Structure 1
Amino acid sequence: MAGELAAPVAGRAAPSARLSALLGEAARLPGARVALNDLLALFGHRAFGALIAVLAAPNALPVAIPGLSFLVGLPLILLTAQLVAGRPAPWLPAALRVRSIARADFERMTRAMAKPLARLERVLRPRLAVVTAPAGERVLGLLGLAMAVALFLPLPFGNMLPGLGLTLIGLALLERDGLAALAGVVVGLTGFGIAFGAGVGVTIAVALALLDALQ
C-alpha cells in the first residue's frame, strides 16, 4: 500500500535510534522544502515514534509558525489511531504525505528543539517495558489520540501541553522508556483537559452571545 513502510521489528525503533541523530539527517535532506514523505522515507522502521515526536514537538516550543497545528494535527491523529489498531508500520494518505514545510522553518524548529531534546535524551533509557510492549502501545495510542485531537483545535496556547505529552510518548517509543511514556500521558491529558474545558467555555460564550442578539 502506498505510504506504508516495511518494518523489520513491528514498525518500531531500536532503543539506540536517537531523535537528535534522525533530525540531523533530516536537516541534510535536499530540496527547498521538507515533506512528510521525506521523513517517512528517512525514518523507516523507526517512523512511529520519530514522526510522533517530530510532529508534536514544535507545538511545545515558543516558535510561532502559522497553520502549524493544522499541518501536523491530522497526521498525528492518524498515527495515534494506527497505534491503537496495532498496525506494524505507519501509513499516511498521499494528500498528507505531500504536505511540506519550508526548509528554513524546519531548520529553525530543529535548532529550537536541539537543547531540550539533548537534555531529555540524557535521561531516557529502556525501562518499564510493559508500557511500551504491544498491548501498552495500543493504550498509549488511545491516550495519544485524545492529545492529537486537542492539538488540532485552534485554541490559543492550547497546543503546548498536548504537544509536549505527544513528544514524550514519541521519544518513549523510540527509546522503549515506559516511564517517559507515563510522564507524557500525565502532561498530555492535563493539556487535553484544559483544551476541552476551554472549548466548552467558548461554545457556551458564543451560545449566550447569540441568545442575547436574538432577544
Structure 2
Amino acid sequence: MNPADDPPRPLSTPHAPGAGEPPDLTLDELLQHQGPASSPMLLLVLALLCVLPVAGVGTLLSGAIALLALGWARGAPPPALPRRLGGFRLGPVWSRRVLRALQAVHALRQRWFRARLSLLAHPATALFWAAWIALMALIIFLPLPLGNVLPGLSLVLLALGWMARDGLALLLSAASGGGAIAMLLWLGDLAWATLANLGQGLRV
C-alpha cells in the first residue's frame, strides 16, 4: 500500500514530562508512544530527532531515513528499526525534550495543517517525495555545521503535510530543503575556493 493511501493518523498525546519517574526512552519506545506506526509517522519522529541538537543522532538516523525512502517509493509498510538503533536510549533529559517537542508538533498540526493543494500529496507523487527524503537523508549524514536543521525541518513538514494531505506544507518542505541544498552548494564552493587558494600559496 502506498503511504498516501493511509488515512491521516492523529498523533497520540505523548507521556507527560514530569509525571512520575522521568522517562528514559529508547527509539522503539518513543515510536510506541506515538500510536500505530505509519511511514509518515516514523519519518516525523526520526526527522524531529535530527532537528534537535543531539550530537551524532543525525548521522545515526540518516541511514534509517534513507531506508524509509525506499519503502515510501515502493508503497511498503515502514521498516522496523534495526535492533541496535531501536534500542538507542535518549536519556531522561532528551526524552523529556523530545516528548515536549512532539506535543508541540501535535498542537501545531491540529491548528495549522489541513487538506489543501492535495494533488501534491497524490500517490503519483510518492516517487518524487521518496527521492526527496533520500536527498535530505544524505545532507543530514554529511558533517556540516548545523547541517541537520533545514533538511530535518523539511522532512518534518513533509511528514505532517503527507498525513494531512496539505500541499502547502509540502511546498514549505521543498523550500526548506531547497535552503539546505543551497547551503550545501555554498559550503562546497567555499571549501573548493579555500583549497584552491591553499594550492596557490604552496606553489608560490
TM-score of the pair, normalised by structure 2: 0.78
Q: CA separation in 2, counterparts of 1:71 and 1:95? A: 11
The equivalent of 2:82 in structure 1 is 93
Q: Greater CA deviation, 119-128 or 39-48?
A: 39-48
The equivalent of 2:7 in structure 1 is 14
One-letter amino acid matched to 1:184: S
Cα shift at 1:165: 0.7
Classify 1:90/1:129 alpha carbon distance in 2 versus 1 (closer, same or farther; 3 Å): farther
Cα shift at 1:204: 4.9
One-letter amino acid matched to 1:205: T
Kept after mapping to 2: 8 A contact 1:53/1:166? yes
TM-score of the pair, normalised by structure 1: 0.74
Map residues 26-175 of structure 1 onto 2, 5 A cutoff: 33-41=24-32, 43=34, 45-60=36-51, 63-112=52-101, 114-115=103-104, 117-175=106-164
Classify 1:45/1:64 alpha carbon distance in 2 versus 1 (closer, same or farther; 3 Å): closer
Cα shift at 1:112: 4.2
One-letter amino acid matched to 1:170: A
SS of the residue aligned with 2:124?
helix
Kept after mapping to 1: 8 A contact 2:2/2:123? no
One-letter amino acid matched to 1:75: A
Kept after mapping to 2: 8 A contact 1:26/1:42? no
One-letter amino acid matched to 1:192: I
Q: CA separation in 2, counterparts of 1:97 and 1:213? A: 48
- The runs of 5 or more residues in structure 1 that have no matched partner are 1-8
Cα shift at 1:93: 3.2
Cα shift at 1:26: 9.3
Q: Deviation digits for residues 180-214 of structure 1, max 9, x if unmatched?
A: 12221221122122124314533553565467568
Q: CA separation in 2, counterparts of 1:83 and 1:208? A: 44
One-letter amino acid matched to 1:140: W
- The runs of 5 or more residues in structure 2 that have no matched partner are none
Count of aligned pairs between the two proteins: 201
Kept after mapping to 1: 8 A contact 2:139/2:148? yes
Cα shift at 1:171: 0.9
One-letter amino acid matched to 1:18: P
Structure 1 residue 179 and structure 2 residue 168: aligned?
A: yes
Identity of aligned residues (%): 28
One-letter amino acid matched to 2:38: A
Q: RMSD between aligned alpha carbons?
A: 3.2
Q: CA separation in 2, counterparts of 1:80 and 1:72? A: 13
Structure showing greater radius of gyration is: 2
Q: CA separation in 2, counterparts of 1:105 and 1:88? A: 28
Q: CA separation in 2, counterparts of 1:154 and 1:26? A: 33
Kept after mapping to 1: 8 A contact 2:25/2:89? yes
Q: CA separation in 2, counterparts of 1:125 and 1:87? A: 25
